[in-house]
Structure 1
Amino acid sequence: MTDPITDREITAEDRATRSAQAMWSTDQASQDLGMEITAVSPGGAVLTMRVRDEMLNGHGICHGGYIFTLADSAFAFACNSYNQLVVAQENTITYLAPGQPGELLTATAVEQSKTGRSGVYDVTVTGEDGRKVALFRGLSRQIKGQHFEE
């Protein structure tokens, strides 16, 4: 497929980047939580989020809902990287270690399978010291539409 603006072939990397830009422009939740996209590729994404004081639970560690949201956002950018609208069908998470106050968490999403309209993605959330904080699995389902016109 050729980009009508640049008159050059749209690569899979271009498609992933443009899809992420389109999604990010309206993703108020991820933006308000201070997330940043550090990488996106076909079937993959890496997002970061700093644990802020308002994200701490009664134990003084990052509330699991925020860790889930970070993982879910990485999953969303990974499965939407083909310029097709994709939504979550089912997600699970296993918490392995606490997110600490002030810590930068990193969620790395990797496509495991994409067949027809369904996909399986694994997301590993790590702390700044490299320890695994959580493991997330997301099942996706493609719906009608695209992020941008090709």
Structure 2
Amino acid sequence: MTTAAHRMFEADEASRALGMELVEAGDGMATVRMKITAAMVNGHEIAHGGYLFLLADTTFACACNSHGPVTVAAGADITFVTSARLGDELTAVAHERTRYGRNGIYDVTVYRDTPGHREVVAEFRGRSRTISPPKDPS
């Protein structure tokens, strides 16, 4: 099923250029995957936190836009639980916690996929705001 989130992701050059893959989106949830490449590793030989934030933020955007109206971030926080490394396959899963009026709260967990289990790498909380449709100039 193609949702507004799928259409938004197809137009998201930044996320797709980093190799992100939208696995699923709909009804206030989304799952996105990304592999850590050499270009994403910092001077400590771990994934730069900005890339982890970007993965979580993209997943958040897909979840909050799955309802249809254009929705943007009003704010977000991330907690890095452990480091990601070169070659890690990461999966981010977003779930809507609540929507009220034009606002929403979404939680995203970023996992490292390993044989047999998932290890939490980061926890992200995003606050969304639905943008009002443009006013008709007539």
- Normalising by structure 1, we get a TM-score of 0.84
Structure having the higher strand fraction is: 2
**One of 131, 134, 137 as aligned partner of 2:122:** 134
How far off its partner does 1:22 sit? Answer: 1.5
CA contact (8 A) 2:6 2:25 kept: no
**Residue number in structure 1 paired with 2:64:** 79
Residue identity opposite 2:6 in structure 1: Q
Unaligned runs of 5+ in 1: 1-13
Post-superposition, which runs of at least 4 consecutive aligned residues in structure 1 deviate over 4 A? none
Q: C-alpha root-mean-square deviation of aligned residues, in Å?
A: 1.3
Tell me, in whole angstroms, the C-alpha distance in 1 between the residues paired with 2:99 and 2:55.
Answer: 22
User: What are the equivalent positions in structure 2 for 1:113-132 lying under 5 Å apart?
Assistant: 113-129=98-114, 130-132=118-120
**One of 143, 146, 150 as aligned partner of 2:131:** 143
How far off its partner does 1:24 sit? Answer: 1.8
Unaligned runs of 5+ in 2: none
**Residue number in structure 1 paired with 2:7:** 22
Residue identity opposite 1:95 in structure 2: F
**Residue number in structure 1 paired with 2:80:** 95
Tell me, in whole angstroms, the C-alpha distance in 1 between the residues paired with 2:5 and 2:127.
Answer: 19
Percent identical among aligned pairs is 44
What is the CA deviation profile of residues 6-35 of structure 1, one whole-angstrom value per residue up to 9, with x for unaligned ones?
Answer: xxxxxxxx5xx3212310221001100100
Tell me, in whole angstroms, the C-alpha distance in 2 between the residues paired with 1:52 and 1:75.
Answer: 22
How many positions carry a matched residue from both structures?
Answer: 131
- Normalising by structure 2, we get a TM-score of 0.91
| Secondary structure of residue in 1 paired with 2:25 | strand
